[in-house]
Structure 1
C-alpha cells in the first residue's frame, strides 16, 4: 500500500502524544529558523541536559521527512504489540521510534552501522551520541553498531522487526541479504514491518537511476528474497510487481501522501508492507 493523503485522528493523536515526527513544536521552529544560536543548538543537540532533551521529545534529534507523520504511527499500530515482546529496528539512527517502543514495555534492539549511507549524504552520528540519547530516554534500547548481516543474532529471536525508510538507502545488491537475515531472526509468526520511499524522480518514473538518497527498489524482489509471506501490501502500489503501473500512480497522486524533498526537490511517496514468517 501507499501512505494515504488523509491521516487518521488516531495517528494524529499518537504524533501529538509522542511529539513526532520532529520533537516539540518550539524546538522544531527554533532549529529551523535563522535565529542566532539555532545552528549551534542543533550541532550540539547531543550535549543538551537530559531533562531538556526529554522536553524536546525523542523525535527531536534527527532530521525527518514529512512522510514520518504517517510512517511512525502506522508502524506502531500495524500489528498488535504487547509488553515484553522482543523487537528490532534496522537503521534507526537517532530516530525516536526505538525509544517509544521501549517506553511501551517492549524489549528493543537497534542495529545501525552509523556511517554515511553514500558519499552524497552527510550523516554524522556516533555511538557516543547514540548512547547519550539512549540514556536521556531511560537507556532501555540495546544498541548494536554494525550491519544486521554481521550482528550474529540468534535465529528465531524477535517478534517484530521494523525498518522505517531505511532500505532504499542501501545498495540494491545488499537488499536480498538483509531481508534474508531479517527472516532468519524473526520468530515463527513474527512480522517484518517496513516503509520504503518511492521516488518520483527515479526509474521507473524517469530515466534517472538514483538520487542523493538512493533508488527505487523492487518490493516484489525484496519479498521473494525474504521468503516471508505478504500480509499487508497492494501489488498495484508496490514497485516491482507487474500490477504496478507508473502512469496509474501519477493519475492517483491526489489520493496519496506526497512530500516534496526540500534538497532534492523530488516528490516522495511511502510504500508500506507487513511480511509474516509462517514457519
Structure 2
C-alpha cells in the first residue's frame, strides 16, 4: 500500500516521543554535522543526526507498529547508518544489528564535517553511546554477510531498496528470507518516484529508480501480509493513472514527488 496523507494519531504520538523524522525541535540548533560537539547532543533525540526525507514521518512509525518489536527479539536494520530507528529498537529490548556498507563521506546522507571525522564504525559508536544502546554495526552489503540462516525475527529495509538496481534488490530480499526465522517479518518501505517511469520519461533519478515490487515479492517464498497490489508498482492491478488521480490521498513528499510503498513479508512457519 501507499502511505496515506492523514497518518494515525498513534503515528503522530510516536514521532513526537522520539523526535522523528528530523530530531526534536530545540533552541539554537547546531548544523547537523556539528551536533556531536553540542553541549547536550542528546537533546536532538536519536533522529537528529542523519539527513532524511519527509516520507519517514509515516515510514518509521508504520514499520514499528507493523513489526511489533519485543524484548529479546533479534532484529536487523538494513542501511540504518545514523538513523534513530535502531535506537528505538534497542530501547525496546531487541538485539539490534545495523547492516550498512555506505561511507561516511557519502554526501547524500551525512555531510562529513569537523564534528564527524573518523571511521564508519567510530562515528556509529559515538552516535549509539549518546543514547546508551548497544547496536552491532556490520559494514558490508547484506548479501555479503555471513549470518546464520533463520537467525533474525525482524528485518527492516526502510527506503533502501530503491537505491540499487532490480537484480541487487532481489538478491537482498532473498537474503532476508534466508536470514529470517520461520514466521519472521521483512518490513520494507520502497520509494515510488512520480517523476520516473511509468509516470515520467526517465528510468532513474539521483535517489534511485522505481522497482518492480511484484517481482521482488514473487521472487521469494514469503507471503505479503501488508500491502495493496493496486498501490504497488509492478503488480497487474497497479494503474499509474489511477495513482496520479488519487495523489491528494497520499503522503507525497513536500520537496520531491515521491511516496512510500509499505510492504511486510512473512516467512512461512
TM-score scaled by length of structure 1: 0.89
Moved more, 223-232 or 154-163: 223-232
Shift of 1:136: 1.1
For the residues of structure 1 that align with 2:104 and 2:170, how far apart are their CA atoms? 20
Q: 1:246-269: CA deviations, max 9, x gaps?
A: 0000011111111133xxxx3111
* Aligned counterpart, 1:91: 79
Structure 1 residue 140: Cα displacement: 1.2
Find the counterpart in structure 1 of residue 54 from structure 2. Answer: 66
What is the aligned partner in structure 1 of residue 34 from structure 2?
44
- Contact map agreement 2:51 2:109 (CA 8 A) in 1: no
Partner of 1:3: 3
Q: CA deviation at 1:116?
A: 8.0
* CA distance in structure 2 between the aligned counterparts of 1:267 and 1:157, rounded to whole angstroms: 37
Give the corresponding residue for 1:104. Answer: 92
The change in CA–CA distance for 1:117 and 1:192 in structure 2 (over 3 A counts) is farther
Q: Residue 266 of structure 2 corresponds to which residue in structure 1?
A: 276
- Aligned pairs for 1:232-247 (under 5 A) are 232-247=226-241
Q: How far 1:7 sits from its partner (Å)?
A: 1.0
After TM superposition, give the deviation of residue 169 of structure 1 in Å: 0.9
Unaligned runs of 5+ in 2: 113-119
Q: Name the CA shift for 1:117/1:240 in 2 (closer, same or farther; >3 Å).
A: farther
Does the alignment pair 1:115 with 2:109?
A: no
SS at match of 1:270: strand
Offset at residue 163 of structure 1 (A): 0.9
Query: For each residue in 1:57-110, what CA deviation from the matched residue of structure 2 results, as whole angstroms up to 9, or x when unmatched?
Result: 000001111111111110000033221111101011211000011011111111
1:248 counterpart (230, 239, 242): 242
Q: TM-score, normalised by structure 2?
A: 0.92
Task: For 1:23-172, list aligned pairs within 5 A.
Answer: 23-26=23-26, 38=30, 41-48=31-38, 52-115=40-103, 121=108, 123-124=110-111, 126-172=120-166
Q: Call closer, same or farther: CA 1:82–1:272 in 2, change over 3 Å.
A: same
SS at match of 1:109: strand
Structure 1 residues 98 and 67, CA, compared in 2 at 3 Å: closer, same or farther?
Answer: same
Structure-1 separation of matches of 2:97 and 2:19 = 22
The number of equivalent residue pairs is 262
With 86-95 and 75-84 compared, the bigger mean Cα shift is at 75-84
Query: Are the counterparts in 2 of residues 190 and 276 from structure 1 also a CA contact under 8 Å?
Result: yes
Which residue in 2 is equivalent to 1:20?
20
> Which sections of structure 1, spanning at least 5 residues, go unmatched?
32-37
Provide the residue aligned with 1:178 in structure 2: 172
Alignment match of 2:204 (pick from 179, 203, 210): 210
